[in-house]
């Protein structure tokens, strides 16, 4: 395997002379299986060879001793004085590029080794109310993404209570809760404060139900006043959608993937998580149908598979999708081979909107979703039909799009507007 990446026999011989040569070769095989590029393999092998020599000089006698030498090796490769000359982001990236490959190999060859994986976030208030998130999941039926939001809001509340010296929930008071909400309101948007207050209400109501709080303090949490139709959806015109699609380099594997995903966003108004969840089983090529199961409203939708979308999917599946036993349609562009995440779908939409020079608040996948809905509104489809098409949970969600009379506004902008205003 090493001969495939190193032309000089001396280089291959030197690597195979290492006392961890078999572990390095096993890791190289794994990298190839996961779809890493030859350049990545060539960069990582010398690093692992150097780590092995460093650990041996430090007293390592077996593979099981290697984890104890990782920190010292990273400190030698990225000295503190050199890291101090870099920005915080650059310093973290430098450390990651050294530590990452070493710990990745050790997870493969050392049983039970985990390394410094991304830390698992603590469950807030788990000591006093351990069953709250099970209540949200099973009794309230909240999705995992909603549970993550609740966790984020309640962790901020937990940190606030620690900061002000509150150690038990029985010490809570309406004044204390109001002070927390007021503090968060100074740096968080009104809509987010509304979600925060909703999480607090559910938490405090559950705490009262479980007997942790003597009174139901949820009734003291006042949501900020918001108006459901106060905002205008951040949609773009059909011409701007075409402008975004034209920015995609469809000659590359990544471009084929991105073009197909953008077409799904713009044509069917799918959410990023719905695109990430698509599998090969959801495409019925024989009948020309695309199924989208498990939508936000709890139902499924079957769309006719349009020719442009079908052609883009075929191009990606044949010429861009990595080989994998997974049934997901879309995969991450970088190794290791794994299905794309909802965040990655949203980020790719953001990237192309910015590349196209489209000015829109908070660009992302929902920009193209909003554009799909607005196009249907302009075509005089009923709100019920539109809501079913894009998977709105409630018809009220669709009503906001009726605020924008795009064609009338365009006439006012292009002419004197007297006929429209008459």
Quickly tell me which residue has 């349609």 as its tokens.
Answer: 329
> Taking the CB of residue 117, how many other CB atoms lie within 10 A of it?
8
Q: Which backbone phi and psi does 331 adopt, to 5 degrees?
A: -125, 160
Catalytic residue among 44, 201, 273, 392: 392
The verdict on whether 27 is a catalytic residue reads: no
Which residues have a Cβ under 8 Å from the Cβ of 286 and sit 6 or more positions away? none
Q: How many CA atoms are closer than 13 Å to the CA of 385, on its beta-carbon side?
A: 9
The verdict on whether 296 is a catalytic residue reads: yes
**Dist CA 404 CA 413 (whole Å):** 14
Catalytic residue among 256, 271, 295, 375: 271
The verdict on whether 401 is a catalytic residue reads: yes
The verdict on whether 96 is a catalytic residue reads: no
Q: Max alpha carbon distance in the chain (Å)?
A: 89
**Dist CA 383 CA 402 (whole Å):** 9
> Taking the CB of residue 405, how many other CB atoms lie within 10 A of it?
13
**Dist CA 17 CA 11 (whole Å):** 10
**Dist CA 181 CA 185 (whole Å):** 6
The verdict on whether 366 is a catalytic residue reads: yes
Q: What is the DSSP string of 144-199?
A: HHHHHHHHHHHHHHHHHHHHTT--SGGG--HHHHHHHHHHHHTTS-HHHHHHHHHH
Catalytic residue among 5, 27, 316, 401: 401
Q: Is residue 112 exposed (0-12), middle (13-18) or buried (19+ Cβ within 10 Å)?
A: exposed
Catalytic residue among 321, 369, 370, 375: 369
The verdict on whether 271 is a catalytic residue reads: yes
Strands in 273-383 per DSSP E? 283-284, 289-292, 301-304
CA dihedral sign of residues 162, 165, 167, 168: negative
Catalytic residue among 69, 257, 282, 366: 366
Catalytic residue among 14, 208, 296, 328: 296
Quickly tell me which residue has 């493969």 as its tokens.
Answer: 108
Distance of CA 99 to the CA centre of its chain: 24
Active site members = 271, 296, 366, 369, 392, 401
């Amino acid at each position: 395997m090493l001969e495939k990446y190193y032309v000089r026999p001396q280089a291959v011989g030197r690597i195979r002379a290492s006392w961890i040569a078999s572990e390095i070769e096993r890791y190289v095989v794994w990298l190839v299986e996961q779809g890493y590029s030859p350049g990545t393999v060539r960069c990582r092998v010398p690093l692992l060879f150097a780590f092995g020599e460093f650990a041996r000089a430090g007293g390592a006698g077996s593979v099981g001793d290697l984890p104890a030498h990782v920190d010292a090796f990273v400190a030698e490769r990225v000295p503190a004085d050199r890291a101090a000359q870099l920005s915080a982001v650059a310093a973290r990236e430098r450390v990651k590029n050294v530590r990452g490959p070493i710990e990745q190999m050790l997870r493969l060859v050392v049983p039970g080794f985990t390394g410094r994986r991304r830390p698992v976030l603590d469950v807030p208030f788990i000591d006093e109310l351990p069953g709250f998130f099970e209540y949200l999941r099973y009794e309230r039926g909240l999705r995992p993404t909603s549970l993550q939001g609740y966790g984020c809001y309640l962790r901020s509340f937990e940190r606030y209570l620690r900061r002000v010296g509150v150690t038990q929930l029985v010490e809570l008071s309406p004044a204390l809760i109001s002070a927390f909400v007021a503090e968060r309101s100074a740096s968080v948007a009104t809509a987010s404060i509304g979600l925060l207050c909703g999480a607090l209400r559910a938490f405090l109501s559950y705490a009262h139900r479980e007997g942790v709080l003597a009174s139901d303090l949820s009734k003291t949490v006042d949501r900020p006043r918001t108006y459901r139709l106060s905002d205008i959806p951040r949609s773009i015109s059909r011409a701007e959608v075409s402008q975004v699609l034209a920015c995609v380099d469809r000659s590359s594997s990544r471009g084929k993937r991105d073009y197909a995903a953008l077409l799904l966003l713009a044509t069917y108004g799918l959410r990023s998580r719905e695109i990430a969840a698509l599998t090969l089983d959801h495409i019925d090529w024989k009948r020309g149908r695309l199924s989208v199961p498990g939508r936000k409203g709890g139902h499924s939708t079957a769309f006719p598979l349009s020719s442009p979308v079908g052609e883009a999917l075929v191009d990606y599946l044949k010429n861009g999708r990595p080989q994998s036993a997974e049934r997901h349609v879309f995969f991450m562009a970088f190794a290791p081979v794994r299905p794309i995440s909802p965040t990655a779908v949203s980020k790719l939409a953001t990237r192309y909107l910015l590349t196209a020079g489209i000015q829109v608040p908070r660009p992302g996948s929902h920009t193209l979703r909003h554009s799909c809905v607005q196009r249907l509104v302009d075509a005089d489809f009923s709100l019920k039909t539109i809501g079913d098409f894009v998977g709105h949970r409630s018809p009220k969600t669709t009503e906001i799009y009726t605020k924008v009379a795009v064609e009338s506004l365009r006439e006012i902008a292009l002419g004197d507007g007297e006929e429209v205003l008459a």
